[in-house]
Structure formats: C-alpha cells, structure tokens
Structure 1
C-alpha cells in the first residue's frame, strides 16, 4: 500500500478513535489506540531524527489539517466535532483522506499572502518570461516596489511555471532553488540550457538574455499604464522657509514643495535629467542636501500617483488626504510652492492629534525629509480614516489582528515541557518583544527557542543566526559586498543581512509574527553588531537613521520578535546583562529549576514506553542529579540534553561512553589547573556508589 493510502486509512481510524472516546484524549493516547486497532506496515515504523515513528509524524500533520477544517478540536486534548462525525459518515473509504487534502488546500489557498493585487505585475511578468530568457529577483521586486528577498516567498507560494528562470542578480542559480514538485530532480541549469539559455564557465547566465524591470514595464505598459499600487506619503508644510503653509493647503485643496532654486521643468521628467538639474541648480548645497532634494522632487513629480494618500502635520495635529491631480511647476512669487499637486483633504475640519495616531505613524513623523514614503504603513492610515468615519471609494478589508496562537498540548507533549511554562514564555515574548533564554550547557535553550518559535509563527517567518566574536553589523543587518558585474568589473553592492531580510518580510505581512532566534547572543560584540538598531530594541515606537542606507526613518515593525540564547559558562554574561537588561527579559533554564528539572526522567519514561531496545542505563536521571549536586557552581551544572539520545540506551556501555567523551572533558575544562584526581568525584562509578547508599 502506498504511504499516502496508508496514512489515509490511519486518519479514518484516528477519527473513529476520537468518536469512541469518552472525552478529549491526548495525542499519544490517540495514536496508541490507533496502533492497537490498525496494523502498521513495517516500512512505516522507521523513525525521524527526533525518534518519533514516521507514521505518527505524518498522521499528526493530517490531523492538524482536519482540525483546520473544524473536524477535530484540540482544547484539553483531541476530540472529534459534529463536523468530523458528519465527515466520517459522508466520505467512505479513501474519500475521507482525499476530502481533507482538497478542502484544506482550498482553504489554505484562499489565505495566500501573495495573492493581493500588488503582486499582479510580478505575476504578469512571469507569465511572459519565455524559454531562453531569464530575470532576477531584483528585477521582479522593482515592478511592485517590494524587497527583492520577498520574491522568494512569492515564487514558493504561487509556484509559477517560469520560476526556474528567476536567477540571482549576477545570473547564477540560487543555492536554495527547489522545484515546486518535490519529486522532480532535474538539474535546473540543464533545463535552462535545453531551453536555450547560455552560461559562462562561472555559471552565470548571458546578460543579453536577461529581461530587466524596464523590459517588463515596457512589455506591460498597454495592460497597466499606471501602477496598480496605492502609495502613501508624508509631505511637510508646517515650516517652509519659516512659514506654515498647511492652512493654505487645506483652504486651496493642494500640497506643494518649495523647489526655490529649481528651474522650470516639464513633468513627468526622467530621473537622470532631474538629478542633473538638481546638481546644477543646487550646486551651492552639500552633496547630502542635493541627494535629499533629488529624492524629494523625484517622489513628488514622478512616483506619486492620483489616488495616493498624503499626510501632513502642523501644531501637533495631523491631516490626511488623497492626491487629486498631477504635479505641475508654477512660478511662485514667494518661492515657497513651485511644485504643486491638487489634494482632497479628508479631515480638514477634524485634525487628529499626534498622540492619537496609530502606530507606527508617530515614529515616521520624526524624519527630517520633506517627503517621506509611508506606503508600508497603509494599514495604519486606513485605520486612521476608519476612526474618522471617512468612507473610501472601495471597501477596505480589515486586517487580521496580529496575535500569537495559544501554545497547545501538542508542543508540550513533543518536548516534555509543561504547557503553562511554554505559555509563560510566549506571553513574555509577546509583551516585551525580546527574550533571552540562559543557562548551563545542555539545558535545551536553542531547542526550546526553535520549538516555541515554530509554534508561534510559520516556518518561513522564523530565522536563526548564531553570533560569534567576528560577527559584525554588516553580517547581521546590511553591508557592502563585492560583486562581479556582467562587464567583468568588480563592484560593491549593498546586501541585506538576515535581520534586514526578516524585517522586510515582516513589513509585507504585518498580521503575521516574525521571530529571529539569535543563538549564543553574548558571543559577539553587541554594540558592534546591532549599531543603531540597539536603540530600536528599547524604543520600538521610534525611528532612527541607518548607517549605510539612505533611510532616515527606519523602524522595527511590531510583528518582529527576538529570542536569544546565552550560555552561563561564558563569563562575559555579566557584561552583556548590564548592557541588555532593559531590552530583554531573561529566563533561566537550569537542571535544578522548572521547566528543565525532571526533564531527563520524563524523557526516559517515554523512551521506556516507545523503544523496546532501549533497556540500559535507565538510572541516568538519578546519576545526572547526583553529578549536579556535586558541582558547586550554579552556572556550571550539566544539562540533560547530553543524555537525551536514544542510542545511548541501546548499548550496554552507552552511558559510560558519553560520560567519558562529553561530560568529563567539560568538567576538566572547568577545573583547569587542578590535579586530575579532582575528576574522580564526578566519575559515573563514584556517583552510582553514592546512589546505592541509603539516606
């Protein structure tokens, strides 16, 4: 029987077990009863790295799909619902499993993150990416103004036929490339070569066969002459050469930029020509001032569109409107409003105090620029309009509220940690955004962090990095990296690090939590690694300028969370605590404290039940407790994970081996410089003699 058919049969048996139960039962109890009722083929009894049989792991996923359809509930344990009972009756035989698959996929597809209209240009471009041509993530991202790394998520979710023709910016195939069909094993380079794509000896595709963002824009011009994306902007008018122009804007239904030194221009204007004119007309200004002017004029003249939102402020109050006309150049007598746009101000008589603005808009107001893009904060602006009872032309679907799911019993059973303790960790992370798990080695800090993050966020929204002494800001957030251009010249490009990638992905999906796990967080120079981001860890509602990017108002989205792990045997922890106590909550994981206390005993009890071969050294928990009782330094205790490997208990001398090769060398390091005999008190034979003496 095929594996899918076998799991389908077991799913029916699972629902029947839940139907026959007197009340909610645990996952383990459910599967134990399934195993008693159904015959499990030997080839499906193999275990995964965690030691769980393959059939249980896969059946667990199918039950979760049934729960998503409302057939099963997990409150206080597993139990079947009325919908599940009806499904058992309506779908005989293998049809039950087929319906779970079909209905779950339909429900999942309806909630796709990348199905919104802003991704339409990318989808259209990929539909026209024919064999023998290629493009890059950067080119596709430019079509809708999103981050280049978010294109990976779009390709993974939407699975377009041309996904294999999307390469890295230098023409190489991404090391992370995977076919949508997991059964497909073709070499993507060979497929592209058969389609007519040419590669150089270094594996870079021919630049002449590349379709750029400009190529796609020209190709799609007839279909979408205007960008389908509604953007939002902050335009300052409260102090233009010492005068507050906002009352005039409200009266005249307009907004403007001074552009006092800019010669008359025809709008729209090519960016290169605009930059040349700014450099010429503002040559008396510093290069930084010229760059700022160019960015403001380009945004006002070229990037803004009729229908975009615009926000302005004056005297502690905020006004929001919609752009109603194209940009025009007008000779202003006072040189304070040469560039103008018509604006329909929506709350001219009902200004909103700064204190009442939804987050993160207050932080954006700290920017020093006269024009600031607020597109990533559209949800906050629409929330503001809703609070003002302003009716929009089209209904706005309310955003799903950001929240952590409740920690379930499944996770508790999986890692043998009390559900209440796990929920406490989740609540602390939600409240404080940053959390550090610290303790001696072997206490499962990283393991628990990863399991908890996996329960609170989608797998694609969890990223792990490990700090070390040479780790830098450039490695962590962003920095310039050498790259070889198509013409063979070496250049430097600003490349995002893992934290920036996570932040940009979080901005795209504000209703979903994103979690960064920093393993060994105290191993690096934190001031060097975080730089100005250190400020944002404490002041989440504020903004700050970045070291390398032109952004002057960078913020951390509220859906970004950080979990760090810290080893207490590293004595630098005291210095780290002094610098980080305001930014993180610290949770100790210690062999003598909950939730780690007794963990090895619980794990051995499960092993005793699940693995008939594991019959040796079942006194390991008592021996470990005796060892830690002899270690005088609280921070140097030995955690249970050293002994939580099934193979140890299948060999007669397994425990002695791990003791001699892992635990005693660690203790020898702690007692460096002491006579070798000091280790005798920690040897397993000495500890067992202690346990044999009656108390």
Structure 2
C-alpha cells in the first residue's frame, strides 16, 4: 500500500515528475499501470484523464504561495449594489478534502439558487464547497458544505434530531470538539430546514438519504514542495496529515479553521505526493515536522537508461556517468546531472542534438552549480587533458600589460574563459570527456 504522504527528491532531470505519474497510477489505477508499465504515452494519457476528472490535482509551491491559497482565505467581491463584501474561499487542498467529504456524506440532495429556508432566507449561490444565503435584511452569509454535510450525517445517524438542531439541545449529544455551538446555534433560523432538505423525506415522512457512494482515493501533487514556506502554507494542518490523525483513524483529530470557523479533518483517502529539487541552493532545509510526516524516495540519475544510446561512437550512458562521478567529488551528489537531459537522444541520436543539449542545458547548469568557477567546470568536462581544439572551455591569449600596464597585477581569479564554439561539433570533444588517453 503506497504511503499517504511521500516526496520524490533528487537532482534536476532525474525524472521526479515521471515518478509522480507512476505513483499516482499506483494509487488510483494499479491494474492500468501494470498493463501499460512500458508505455510512457499511455500512462501519461491515463494520468491526464484522472486530472481532468478531478481525482488528481496539481499545484506548484513558490515563495508567494500562502495558507490562503492552500487551505482557505478571505476574498473580496462586489455585489450588484457595488458594495464590497468578503467571503471565505477554500484553497486547493481544502477543496479537495471537501470534495471527498461530500462524496462520503452520501451525496445528499443539492441546493439550487432561489431555494428558500426558514423565514425569508434565500440561496443566492450554490457550489460544491459553499452555499450562500441572503438574509431577510439583504446581507449575504456563506455556509460551508462541510458543516452542512456533518450536520446531515449526524441527523441521518440518529445522533440528534432536526428539532434538537433547531432548539439548541443537539450540543449535549455531540462532543464539543466536533461542532462549534456558537456557529450552529447562530444559524438555527435556517440550518434545520436546510438539513431537512438535504436528507429529503419519503411518503411516510421519514428521512431517506441517497445511498452512500464511497469515493476512490484522491491525489494532490505538490511540485517543488521545498520552494514554499511549508510551515506557513500548511499551518495547523501539518499535524492532521499524519495517517494516524486522519478522519476515521484511532487518533483522528479536528481543528477549527481560522476564517470559516469550521471544524476540519483530513480524509484518510487523500494522498500527498511532493517533488523536491536537491540542487536548488536558494532553499532552506525542509521543516523537521514535515520530514517526520512524509516518506522520502530518492530519484537519482540513472545512466543505465542510456546504455543503448550511442552518438557517432560516443556512449551517452558512460558520458553521463563519468561527469557525475566528477561532480560528486568536486561538489556533492545532490548536484549530479539527470539522465532526462539526454533522453531525447534515444529518438534522435545525432551529433547536432547532443551539441544542443550540451550548449543549451549542460554548460549553463554547470555554470550555475560552480558559480562561474570555470576551472572546476573544465575538470568536469576533462578539458585540462584534451587538445585545445577539443576543449569546451578555453583561455584566450591576451596581453594584460598592453591592456592595463605593468603597474597592475591581475590574479588568477580574474582569468578569462570562453566557450569554444567549434568544440561542440567535434566528436573527439565528447570522447575526451570519457577517455583521458585521447590527446593531441
């Protein structure tokens, strides 16, 4: 059984996104994955179907991503009279949890715009997440579907009755940590009739909810999870994502959300899959609280996937392996090059394609890794042992005395380096990365 919370980590280009597709299908459609394991296009097509159906949601963390984007927040809107009002809007994670809660509730009767409840309370907006009620005085009030589903489930189970919901006697039959008495009793003018509508009645006047249709698992993919402020984004939900704290578990917990004041828990069939780039120097270490609640799966470079790829006698798998060995010594293994950069050579094993990969991806990445320390980049490419015409990096001859005069001494750190454009089109330049015996 896959872990509820998992993070795929590794250097760029190792196939972390590819891994999330397979992990998602392992959760949602394992038979399809087993049948089409060797067909990347088929797996991606099935993944896209699940994404379109709402079974998978995708979000990318970044420095501006907030709790309000992820859980819930206030959004300003303007009504027909031009008055500004604020409503609670669910974020991507809460809305996914609410969609599961709605399915698990038995899919009670839905609300429609224009429906009236109590004395003068009218529905002006109805979504899967919220029902907006217009009060007799004209003010608008958003009611979360999670609250309504919870109340309906208690009445359905016989925990308390519609009458007890209306007279406030329900709270003695439900632990105080489940529902907020002030919130529920404050809405008692219309909540009972709304719950009655959700449950429906048969000809004998008895409640007859729709049959329960348990939902399948849902997956939230969080790309670049370590780019955001994880503690701030998850907030109080950081505890609730633990499997033992999920709804229905032995140690299940609920929290009161700060904006809606609703009680909230995370369903046990919500899976979180994150990706993390270990080479990003701008990121701080992940919060220990997050690390404790996730299973971490390394996705390292896999040169073996390129073993059968050869370009004009250049063994691409060996080329990648040798460069990564040098990077691991000069820097660390978190900054190795991923095999995904070279995968296009499987379909187009040409020198021109290899040249484009080195010129547009590999060299710029090495420059970022080594902070313009050109000598170390030269060591990774084995240029120091190649003939000049096969070196990707060269030092142009320059008369420094003519440039600055003899009164100025330029240190080694100020040495100039240039890319040797002609080397990118030479087979020996790439063979020399692997074979140090290849000389003048």
Render the CA deviation track for 1:148-197: whole Å, top value 9, x for unaligned: xxxxxxxxxxxxxxxxxxxxxxxxxxxxxxxxxxxxxxxxxxxxxxxxxx
**Map 1:326-345 → 2, pairs under 5 A:** none
Q: Using the TM superposition, name which of 462-471 and 532-541 deviates more.
A: 532-541
Give secondary structure in 1 for the equivalent of 2:241. Answer: helix
Alignment partner, residue 406 of structure 2: none
2:157 corresponds to 1:586: no
**Whole-angstrom CA distance in 2 between matches of 1:660 and 1:503:** 45
Structure 2 CA distance, aligned partners of 1:493 and 1:453?
Answer: 33
C-alpha contact 1:648 1:655 (8 A) present in aligned 2 = no
- Is 1:620 the counterpart of 2:330? The answer is no
Q: In the alignment, which residue of structure 2 is the partner of 1:644?
A: 343
Tell me the equivalent position of 1:576: 286
**Counterpart pick for 1:670 among 369, 373, 386:** 369
CA distance in 1, matches of 2:274, 2:17: 8
Corresponding residue for residue 173 of structure 2: none
Residues 600, 644 of structure 1: 8 Å contact kept: yes
Contact map agreement 1:527 1:534 (CA 8 A) in 2: yes
Whether the aligned pair in 2 keeps the contact of 1:499 and 1:516 (CA below 8 Å) is yes
Counterparts of 2:62 and 2:10 in 1: how far apart (Å)? 18
- Show CA shifts across 1:39-85 (max 9, x none): xxxxxxxxxxxxxxxxxxxxxxxxxxxxxxxxxxxxxxxxxxxxxxx
**Partner residue of 2:121?**
none
Deviations 1:125-144 (A, max 9, x none): xxxxxxxxxxxxxxxxxxxx
Q: Distance in 2 between matches of 1:668 and 1:578?
A: 31
Distance 2:352 2:361 in 1: 14
Q: Return closer, same or farther for 1:616/1:547 CA change in 2, 3 Å cut-off.
A: farther
- Report what 2:17 is aligned to: 446
State the Cα deviation string for residues 560-582 of structure 1 (Å, max 9, x = none). 01011111113476631523221
Question: Which residue pairs with 2:256 in the alignment?
Answer: 545
Taking a change above 3 Å as real, the CA distance of residues 617 and 548 of structure 1, as seen in their structure-2 partners, is farther
Alignment of 1:329-478 (within 5 A): 427-429=1-3, 433-457=4-28, 458-459=50-51, 460-478=54-72
Note the C-alpha offset of 1:626.
1.2
Question: Contact (CA 8 Å) 2:61, 2:226: kept in 1 or not?
Answer: yes
Task: Return the alpha-carbon distance in structure 2 between the equivalents of residues 461 and 558 of structure 1.
Answer: 15
Counterpart secondary structure, 1:644:
helix
The 1:517/1:438 distance shift into structure 2, 3 A limit, reads: same
In 1, the alpha carbon distance for the partners of 2:27 and 2:312 equals 37
CA distance in 1, matches of 2:270, 2:313: 44
The match for 1:500 is 94
Residue of structure 2 equivalent to 1:601: 307
Contact 1:438 1:568 (8 Å CA) reproduced: yes
Alignment gaps of 5+ in structure 2: 29-49, 105-213, 247-251, 382-391, 393-427
Q: Verify the 8 A CA contact 1:522 1:572 in the aligned structure 2.
A: no
The equivalences for 1:192-341 within 5 A come to none
Q: 1:562 to 1:528 in 2, by over 3 A?
A: same
Contact 2:241 2:293 in 1 (8 A): yes
Q: 1:483 aligns with which of 73, 77, 93?
A: 77
Structure 1 counterpart of 2:233, from 509, 515, 529: 529
SS in 1 for 2:318: helix
Q: Which residue of 1 aligns with 2:356?
A: 657
Distance 1:450 1:668 in 2: 31
> Offset at 1:489?
2.8
**Aligned position for 1:132:** none
Cα 1:659–1:577, aligned 2, differ >3 Å: closer, same or farther?
Answer: farther
* Residues paired across the two proteins, number: 250
Q: Partner of 2:434 in structure 1?
A: 691
- 1:522 Cα deviation from its structure 2 partner: 0.7
Deviation, structure 1 residue 505: 1.7
In structure 1, C-alpha distance between the alignment counterparts of 2:313 and 2:356, rounded to whole Å: 12
Change (3 A) 1:536 1:688: same
Question: Using a 3 Å threshold, how does the CA distance of structure 1 residues 622 and 506 change in structure 2: closer, same or farther?
Answer: same
Asked which structure has the greater RCO (Cα within 8 Å, sep 6+), the reply is 2
Q: Distance in 2 between matches of 1:523 and 1:582?
A: 18
Q: Cα–Cα, structure 1 residues 623 and 577, in superposed 2: closer, same or farther, change >3 Å?
A: farther
With over 3 angstroms needed to count, the CA separation of the structure-2 counterparts of 1:579 and 1:573, relative to structure 1, is: farther
8 A contact 1:506–1:557 mirrored in 2: yes
Task: Tell me the equivalent position of 1:559.
Answer: 269
Q: Give the match's secondary structure for 1:547.
A: coil
Q: Contact between 1:616 and 1:649, CA under 8 Å: does it hold in 2?
A: no
What is the aligned partner in structure 2 of residue 178 from structure 1?
none
Question: What is the Cα deviation at residue 650 of structure 1?
Answer: 5.3
Contact 2:2 2:26 in 1 (8 A): no
Q: 1:652 and 1:686 mapped to 2: Cα distance?
A: 11
Go from structure 1 to structure 2 and tell me whether the alpha carbon gap of 1:449 and 1:456 turns closer, same or farther (over 3 Å shift). same
